[in-house]
Amino acid sequence: MPDANPTPSPDPEIVASWKQAAAARAAGLVQAGMAVGLGHGSTAVAIVPHLAKRWRGGELDGAIFVPAAHFMAAALRRHGLPVGSLDDWPALDLGLDGADEIDAQLDCIKGGGGALLYEKIVGQAAERFVLVADAGKLSPRLGTRHAVPVEVTPFALAPTKDFLVAIGGHPALRLRPDGDPMRTQRGNVILDCAFGPLADPAGLAAVLDARAGVAGHGLFIGLAALAIVAGPDGVRELARPAG
């Protein structure tokens, strides 16, 4: 459930400038010869022009970029960057992606753009997975501001809805602007399931992982090693706490 007294959001232009600043810093993590996974969303896509500039300058020779979403693939191609697949690069050196909500452990909720399953596959394939975000994404507790997206095989939609209600969630089918259900790249549907602030995100992730019909969910637990976060204090690099 949303906060009773949410902090007012900063001006969208300011948030956009934070995303740009975080994206520019993230592009600096890429080195020549690396295989790099890239997720989805405005922040992840904002990394691409910075990569392209470095590529044109000869700093990234031999690098290859593996997108988690068609939209990212199109952005990479538009900027003349080489696009690969997990078939050919199953072990990535680095993964860069945005997030919807990030806690102090760098666990996060993702999937606002609907690419959660492929984003998690790319993130897990990366030796080092790095979140790139504006400071508005930081949260004392996951679930405070965002529902957990749950990707569901259409055959299982009705029983999965009942299951999510039974475990304390409030699922809502994600719709396209024309009112039809939004479909993921796998042809699945998404239930945005509000749970309120989560006492045990890892426990909830395990419950969702165990449920047949759930093709994926937006809780990314124990994956990120670093978060690059830009806000009023500039760009900060937050390492995952030990333990």
| Catalytic site positions | 119
- Please classify residue 179 by burial: count the beta carbons closer than 10 Å to its beta carbon, then call 0-12 exposed, 13-18 middle and 19+ buried: exposed
> 118-147 mask for ligand 5RP (x: CB under 6 A)?
-x----------------------------
Q: Is 103 in the site for ligand 5RP (CB under 6 A)?
A: no
Here the tokens at position 180 are 């039809």
Q: Is 24 in the site for ligand 5RP (CB under 6 A)?
A: no
Instruction: Report the distance separating Cα 25 and Cα 21, nearest Å.
Output: 6
> Taking the complex as a whole, how short is the minimal distance between the CB of residue 166 and ligand 5RP, in angstroms?
26
> Taking the complex as a whole, how short is the minimal distance between the CB of residue 243 and ligand 5RP, in angstroms?
26
**Cβ contact 132:96 at 8 Å:** yes
Q: Is 20 in the site for ligand 5RP (CB under 6 A)?
A: no
Residue 146 sits at the vertex; the CA angle it makes with 191 and 218, to the nearest 5 degrees, is: 55
Q: Is 116 in the site for ligand 5RP (CB under 6 A)?
A: yes
Strand partners, 102: 108, 138
> 46-85 mask for ligand 5RP (x: CB under 6 A)?
----------------------------------------
